[in-house]
Amino acid sequence: MATTPAAYLDPQDRLPDTPLFDRPRGSLGYQLNRMAMALMDPANREAFKRDEQAFLDRFDLTAEQRAAVLARDWNTMMRLGGNLFYILKISAVDPVAITAIGAAQAGMEHEPFLSERLGKPRHG
């Protein structure tokens, strides 16, 4: 891949720390999204669970994309061209609640996020 994903900071990104999913970013994340979409197949989900490294070897991910998937770093995956609808396929394997991903994107812990953003009472 000719472009370094981490260097892709588009001036069109209107909200701080919120990447705009446009054509260049979509092209940047093509392999990442392709890999995530492959998780729709139950056999691929099992292969991913069995050996994530080997599964990721099947796709032409950059080192940064690969590290983000392995770390379940949702923000970095999106910054590196991941589309949320595809990235959610990865979260379904673990499984991770979509609200936990929202909390990560907001830079918050899950419980305070639920309380603040969704009006859910805090436990504890």
Residues 32 and 83 in one domain: yes
Q: Residue 63 is encoded by which pair of tokens?
A: 């080192």
Residues 103 and 53 in one domain: no
Q: Do the Cβ atoms of 89 and 75 come closer than 8 Å?
A: no
Q: Give the position of tokens 């050996």.
A: 51
Residues 85 and 104 in one domain: no
Residues 43 and 64 in one domain: yes
Q: pLDDT tens across 22-74, in order?
A: 777 777 789 999 999 999 999 999 999 999 999 999 999 999 999 999 999 98
Residues 47 and 70 in one domain: yes
CATH code, domain carrying 71: 1.10.700.10
Residue 6 has pLDDT above 50, yes or no: no
Question: pLDDT at position 12, please?
Answer: 56
Residues 56 and 101 in one domain: no
Higher pLDDT, 19 or 40: 40
Question: pLDDT at position 3, please?
Answer: 47
Residue 14 has pLDDT above 80, yes or no: no
* Among 35, 72, 80, residue whose Cα is nearest residue 55: 35
- What's the structural domain count of the chain? 2
Question: pLDDT at position 27, please?
Answer: 74
User: Does any domain span residue 7?
Assistant: no
* Among 45, 82, 47, 48, residue whose Cα is nearest residue 62: 82
Residues 37 and 88 in one domain: yes
Question: pLDDT at position 89, please?
Answer: 92
SS3 79: helix
Structural domain for 100, as ranges: 94-124
* Among 88, 102, 81, residue whose Cα is nearest residue 32: 81
Residues 57 and 107 in one domain: no
SS3 41: coil
pLDDT band at 15 (very low <50, low <70, confident <90, very high): low
Residues 87 and 50 in one domain: yes
User: Does any domain span residue 59?
Assistant: yes
Residues 27 and 83 in one domain: yes
User: Does any domain span residue 2?
Assistant: no
